[in-house]
Amino acid sequence: MTTIAAESKDRVAELAEVFHLMGDPSRLGILMLVLDEARAVGEIAAATGHSLSLVSHHLRLLRARRLVRAERRGKQVFYALDDAHVRSVLRDMAAHLREERR
Amino acid sequence: MTTIAAESKDRVAELAEVFHLMGDPSRLGILMLVLDEARAVGEIAAATGHSLSLVSHHLRLLRARRLVRAERRGKQVFYALDDAHVRSVLRDMAAHLREERR
DNA sequence: ATAACAATTAAACAGTTGTTCAATCGTAAA
DNA sequence: TTTACGATTGAACAACTGTTTAATTGTTAT
């Protein structure tokens, strides 16, 4: 069988981990912010209204699953989305919600 | 601004709710099972190895967010995926994981 | 009506998770 | 070396979540 329904257990578990990361409002907000351009942690904190610490904690989780990539420039660390599929999924889902409202 | 990054807070929250539902391994396994064809709760329980009760609990949550649709046929209740975007997202992500392994 | 089957529901528990606060680290300027 | 700024880290706590167990509802057959 090659159907998606026959996807093996641990692959489903990995998939679930990615969705789980996207399933928190704070984290999803962060992902949305770095969707198109890299942003410093401080910018993200300011834009989302969250503490630097909280943002950093979340970024660490996102980094661990390689949803996001970090690059240091001087004192600041810039984060950008580092997963093409996640990017397209986020765009797709956002569009979905927009349409649903009509 | 019409960028996705400027998505309003409560829409992000709604998006997060959907991802959160997909972010649990048991629930994601259920969604995968009903991705292509409707299945009875008992079938789902047997196929996933979970109790009837657990499956029913999860289905209730999925139903509440309209990711899944229920239809009664005699004693059994059949569930099917009821969201085109979720379906494409699941296919997309599953494909993504498959490619990543190469 | 009763029995059997399928599914739902409620309560309760253990484990996980998001957040805060305080301390620490890394880098650049004085 | 200091000082200041930006970011990370760890500990601790409250809130939430997934799962189990047991009781209950709905449906079909006897």
Task: Express each pLDDT in A18-73 by its tens digit.
Answer: 999 999 999 999 999 999 999 999 999 999 999 999 999 999 999 999 999 999 99
Closest CA to B8 of A53, A73, A28: A28
Cβ-nearest to A97 among B11, B20, B29: B11
Q: What percent of chain B has pLDDT over 90?
A: 71
Which is nearest to B23 in space by CA: B102, B96, B93?
Answer: B93
Q: Which has more pLDDT, A5 or B77?
A: B77
Q: How many domains are there within chain A?
A: 1
Question: Cα separation of A35 and A23, whole Å?
Answer: 16
Residue B3 in domain: no
Q: What is the mean pLDDT of residues A66-89?
A: 95
Say how many C-beta atoms besides its own lie within 10 A of residue A28's C-beta.
26
DSSP state of B13: H
> Using CB atoms and an 8 Å cut-off, which of residues 39-78 of chain B contact chain A?
none
Q: Is the pLDDT of residue B4 over 60?
A: no
Contact A15 B7 (CB under 8 A): no
pLDDT tens, position by position, B15-37: 999 999 999 999 999 999 999 99
CATH number at residue B20: 1.10.10.10
State which residues form the domain around B63: 8-100
Q: Tell me, yes or no, whether A2 lies in a domain.
A: no
Residue B38 forms part of a structural domain? yes
Is residue A28 domain-resident? yes
Alpha carbon of B31: minimum distance to chain A alpha carbons (Å): 9
CB half-sphere exposure, B102, CA atoms < 13 A: 5
Q: Is residue A54 part of a domain?
A: yes
DSSP string, A41-94: HHHHHHHHT--HHHHHHHHHHHHHTTSEEEEEETTEEEEEE--HHHHHHHHHHH
Closest Cα in chain B to A17 = B23
The per-residue pLDDT of chain B, averaged, comes to 89
Q: Which of residues 1-40 of B touch A (CB under 8 A)?
A: 3-5, 7, 9, 11-25, 27-29, 32-33, 35-36
Residue B1 lies inside a defined structural domain of this protein? no
Q: Give me the pLDDT at residue B78, please.
A: 98
> Between chain A and chain B, how many beta carbons pairs sit less than 8 Å apart?
110
Which of A2-6, A28-32, A90-94, B92-96 has the largest mean confidence? A28-32
DSSP for residue B89: H
Radius of gyration (C-alpha) of chain B in whole angstroms? 15
Q: Is position A83 within any domain?
A: yes
| pLDDT (0 to 100) of residue A97 | 64
Which residue does chain A place closest to B31, by CA atoms?
Answer: A5
